A and B are shown apart, each in its own frame.
Chain A
């Protein structure tokens, strides 16, 4: 069947706000807990004064090994999020970067049948994180990046349990 692209508009979101999609780097398995994967679901919304608030929805820890984990340093830009693994003394162990879940890049096909991009802004959304836990990870913190060279504002810290 041949599709009439003049009538069809196909939109494809690329919601790269998750920690485990692209720019993957190999795991050094020696530094990880014994086959523990953590899944974290968060909701995120922007207040009337443009403050970002993040709420933990749930946390799941299961047995398993990930082949790779993501770091995505190229996402260390203004407005995005940092996901930081912390040890018991709140020392940083590992950092990964997330696209701002409230600014979703969208890929679509226009009337000429060609792919194109746009961005959907939202005041409320959700995002998930999947990580192979490092052996000393005690907390996961989420920061908003206001200056890529500085520590950002910590929005939420989740105890891993």
Chain B
């Protein structure tokens, strides 16, 4: 390491000059886990990157990063909610050990001037402020994160230097000095929770936040539920400031402990805001089984299980209820017997809320309630399958099956083999075009008939719950439309429409056969399952088929 004469702003200029021809580092570095509670997409991911650690020092980096992590989780509410976090480290080796110190201030007696070839170029004296330690090349941090852990929620650079310093911002930076952890926790509260300072930061930096407001009335201030407890109140920053804070000794005001050996802590308002933030990123319900919310034709006993992230306080309170009646509390699983269910549709609900005493916001019970519900079809529901035949050319189809997924592109997907299906149109002329991957129809409706064009004849099977024809009214609008046939067996068209035939102008099937009531002519004969029909009405009517166990 050599003495340097560059100022730090000069160093930043050099960094930016080289940035014009910047080549991103696409390297994969070792990403190790310090704390793992679950999948990165579900838990809050804190990522610590090394700077100023040579290859041989990376094991020390792991120890130092563990110390930082432990510092964070020794402070409430992070202690209680540690189970909501993952902590990872990215081991980025540097060519040389330590941090730059240009020595642009009169601080060289205790902190020698140093020039260090460290990876992120972390340096003291930024902006001629001695203890301001940061990377002047944050784009390098961005690149390493992008290629190694893009789903980070918070990232921090840990610099291998024993001198006190750090910085906040998008990527907090801290040294290994024992008090730097306090700076990091303060900065994390800014970047992670969006808390304001509780010392007077100046008018430019004042703003409405969880812990800062212009509202002075203790009855309506946003932290009104904490007023008068443990020295919380509505304190003006200074006389005439017009801005108020909830406490006088919060970590957002002071870094140092009030008394030796008594660590600084967040006030209860800041704790509450932090818990709110944690819940906004990571819900207490991580997994549940069955994963499908609709359960048809179940076999018994039915087992339900929910995986919760319990904070250290074990404050999650949960309830199971069946058809609105509470049946169990504070258990992660439940077994349902058929005798517990009503005939037909049943609703099983699991709700959980964080009953922590750290939360006192109004309507907490609603805001922090998380609910899962399952619909259980008991008894009468039966899964049936219907074959639909699609001849080559144009045809009209319909179905009495209500499948779990009725989207046209999903339901008719078997017809897409060898590009068989050309187009499907509904009565509005809206189309599903498989070759363009455009589904303008959306879901296939049981009440409707649909025009389809196929290149060759093919039969597909559709399975699901059968709709009850007697409970499925079909609207026949004035003018042209299409309708479905919902019964299991064919039925004489004339009989089906006997009560409506005065309003029917014509009904046609897909091959052009017609039913003309005014002429007493039925060229179609029977309505057939799986087929759809075109119809022209002189006035709007409702068609309701007889039940399957009745005959026309």
Interface pick from B92-100, B183-191, B384-392, B406-414: B183-191
Report the minimum CB–CB distance from B135 to chain A (whole Å).
10
Give the residues from 114 to 129 in chain A that come closer than 8 angstroms, CB to CB, to chain B.
114-117, 119-120, 122, 124-128
For the complex, what is the distance from the CA of A16 to the CA of B201, rounded to whole Å? Answer: 15
Closest Cβ neighbor of B170 among chain A residues: A18
Q: Are B255 and A45 neighbours in the complex by a CB distance under 8 Å?
A: no
How extensive is the interface on chain B, given as a class?
Answer: 35 or more
Looking at chain A's contact residues, is the secondary structure mostly helix, strand, loop, or mixed?
strand
Produce 1/0 per residue, A1-35, CB < 8 A to B. Answer: 11101001111111111101111101000000000
Report the minimum CB–CB distance from A114 to chain B (whole Å).
6
Report the minimum CB–CB distance from B382 to chain A (whole Å).
33
Give the residues from 148 to 165 in chain B that come closer than 8 angstroms, CB to CB, to chain A.
150-151, 153, 164-165
Q: Are A16 and B179 neighbours in the complex by a CB distance under 8 Å?
A: no
Most chain B CB within a 10 A radius of its CB, from A5, A16, A57, A68: A57
From known contacts A8-B164, A10-B166, A106-B132, infer whether A39 and B127 are also in contact, taking CB-CB under 8 Å.
Answer: no
Closest 10 CB pairs of A and B: A11-B132, A11-B129, A15-B169, A41-B139, A18-B170, A120-B127, A10-B131, A22-B194, A128-B142, A39-B146
Report the minimum CB–CB distance from B426 to chain A (whole Å).
24
Q: Are A122 and B169 neighbours in the complex by a CB distance under 8 Å?
A: no
Closest Cβ neighbor of A45 among chain B residues: B16
Interface pick from A59-67, A88-96, A141-149, A153-161: A59-67
Give the residues from 166 to 198 in chain B that come closer than 8 angstroms, CB to CB, to chain A.
166-170, 178-179, 183, 186-187, 190-191, 194, 197
Report the minimum CB–CB distance from B406 to chain A (whole Å).
19
For the complex, what is the distance from the CA of A117 to the CA of B76, rounded to whole Å? Answer: 26
Q: Which residues of chain B have a CB within 8 Å of any CB of chain A?
A: 9, 12-13, 15-16, 19-20, 22-24, 41, 44, 126-127, 129-132, 134, 137-139, 142-143, 145-147, 150-151, 153, 164-170, 178-179, 183, 186-187, 190-191, 194, 197, 199, 201-202, 204-205, 207, 253-256, 260, 280-282
From known contacts A14-B168, A22-B191, A68-B280, infer whether A126 and B130 are also in contact, taking CB-CB under 8 Å.
Answer: no
Q: Which residues of chain A have a CB within 8 Å of any CB of chain B?
A: 1-3, 5, 8-18, 20-24, 26, 37, 39, 41, 43, 45, 55, 57-58, 60, 62-68, 74, 104-109, 113-117, 119-120, 122, 124-128, 130
Report the minimum CB–CB distance from B209 to chain A (whole Å).
9
